[in-house]
Amino acid sequence: MRRLSWIVVLTVILGSCATYRYSRQAEEAMKGDNWDAAVYYLLEALAADPGNIKLKMDLQRARTRAAEEHFRRGMGFKEAGELARARTELELAVQLDPTHQYAETELAKVRKDLEILVQEGGAAKLEQAKKAAREMKVKPPILTPETAEPMTLAFPNPVNVKDIYNAIAKAFGFNVLYDPRLKDTKLAIELKNVTAKQALDNVVQAAQHFYKVLDEKNHHRGGRHPAKPPGLRGSGGEDVFPLQRRGERHQQHDPHPHRCPPGGHQRAAQRAGDPRYR
């Protein structure tokens, strides 16, 4: 019995040491903006102390930031035509942050492009598809909802602004994709006898948001401040669009000293899906 007590005490001490060591390494990684390593170390710390609320909150933040970094890298590789590497980065982004709808959308596009490439004459087909996409950019898509009839939607009491956008989308028949960093602000508003565009314009003006039509049935909701070229920042320091500037390539080197251990990126992403660490 006494031996069993010593084993229990020793296990508790070792677990506490592991939690402290990994949490310190995670803090150093976060200070250096090395979010992949931060996710890895926080997962290891939580494995030793699953009920630690602070570690869970830090992990959620690190997952979001790491996912955004992988998303940027993926978009950089996509822009450079390195689709296989783009797919890998975007898959990691989605695994780390399943709520990142924009990453899911871009991942689906990359997978579709790769499917075209493996076909006979795939390179020519893909180039033709890209040419058509470039021509579409000259004429930006216009939102064409299923119904053009004006409607009245009233929200007399403050509700989550996303609920308002969702109600407008459902009423007029189109889809909405949200920037993962869009805050859950509340708003009370009356939309009287308005079209889909008028409804959106009224809400984004009241909430100080902006939106971008992705195609005829989809629009992307961004954060505060008017839309600017991809990669630029708003006055508050937030990214307006989670995209990389044209011509800007992914940096191959890692400037941060706290590197994630070999295989840590994949292990972190896989374990990030475990509900115990959410």
pTM (predicted TM-score): 0.50
Question: pLDDT tier at 266 (50, 70, 90 boundaries)?
Answer: low
Closest by Cα among 189, 198, 181 to 163: 189
Question: Mean pLDDT, to the nearest integer, of 243-247?
Answer: 29
pLDDT for 61 equals 92
- Examine the pLDDT at 184 and tell me if it is beyond 70: yes
Higher pLDDT, 225 or 155: 155
231: left (phi > 0), else alpha (psi -120 to 50), else beta? left
Say which range, 87-101, 154-168, 234-248, 262-276, has the weakest mean pLDDT.
Answer: 234-248
Measured CA to CA, the distance from residue 29 to residue 174 in angstroms comes to 41
Domains observed in the chain: 2-138 (no CATH), 140-242 (3.55.50.30)
Distances (CA, A) of 110 to 86, 115, 200, 201, 224: 7, 9, 29, 31, 28
Mean pLDDT for the chain overall? 74
Higher pLDDT, 172 or 94: 94
Task: Give per-residue pLDDT as tens, 120-131.
Answer: 887 787 777 777
Question: pLDDT tier at 140 (50, 70, 90 boundaries)?
Answer: low
pLDDT for 213 equals 80
pLDDT for 110 equals 93
- 231 by Cβ neighbours in 10 Å (0-12 / 13-18 / 19+) ranks as middle
CA angle 106, 108, 114 (to 5 degrees): 105
- Examine the pLDDT at 205 and tell me if it is beyond 70: yes
Taking the C-alpha atoms of 44, 50, 56 and 62 in order, what is their torsion angle to the nearest 10 degrees?
10
- Examine the pLDDT at 10 and tell me if it is beyond 50: no
**Regarding beta strands 186-194 and 175-178, do their DSSP bridges make them parallel or antiparallel, or are they unpaired?**
unpaired
pLDDT for 157 equals 93
pLDDT for 222 equals 54
Task: Give per-residue pLDDT as tens, 207-221.
Answer: 888 887 876 555 555
Task: Give per-residue pLDDT as tens, 14-64.
Answer: 445 667 787 888 889 888 889 999 999 999 888 888 888 998 999 999 999
Task: Give per-residue pLDDT as tens, 65-113.
Answer: 999 999 999 999 999 989 999 999 999 999 999 999 999 999 999 999 8
